[in-house]
Amino acid sequence: MRFARMLQNEGELDGQRILRPETVRLMATDALPADVTDQGFLPTKGQVGFGIDFAVRIRPPANAQEASGAVGEFFWDGAANTLFWVDPKNKITAVLFTQYKPYGKVPLHKAFRDAVYSGIPDALAH
């Protein structure tokens, strides 16, 4: 969570500069070439690209099967259904730790995201 909070605060945590703001922006900016269209490895994540280190949401949720979220958020998942994301627009940092394997058998990420974004209409999957 501290790492996510540092990213949310453009590289600063508890008054200490860890990363430059431009470094954080670069990490969270979609750098995926437009001709890369196969994103079958990201089912239900929504319309995302990739920055340096993170998936980056580039469009709002298109349908109810996609996880809720905001354009500009960046995130990463882990093999045991772990998840963290930073949403600069809504000032949200979230971390979900589980040890549930295999990944994706239970829709934990979608349920967690939908709960977090339940009060933000623009971020909800419709």
| Bigger pLDDT: 87 vs 120 | 87
How much is the average pLDDT of 103-120?
Answer: 84
Residue 103 forms part of a structural domain: yes
Domains: count for the chain:
1
Residue 45 forms part of a structural domain: no
- Percentage of residues of the chain with pLDDT beyond 90: 40
Residue 23 forms part of a structural domain: yes
Distance CA 90, CA 93 (A): 9
Residue 66 forms part of a structural domain: yes
- pLDDT value, residue 54: 85
| Bigger pLDDT: 70 vs 62 | 70
Residue 44 forms part of a structural domain: no
Give the tens place of pLDDT for each residue, 2-54: 999 999 999 999 999 999 999 999 999 988 887 877 665 565 677 788 888 88
Closest CA to 113 of 79, 78, 66, 76: 66
Query: Do residues 88 and 69 lie in contact, with contact meaning Cβ atoms separated by under 8 Å?
Result: no
- pLDDT value, residue 34: 79
Question: Which run of H or of E encompasses 23?
Answer: helix 21-27
Half-sphere exposure of 94 (CA within 13 A, CB side): 23
Residue 41 forms part of a structural domain: no
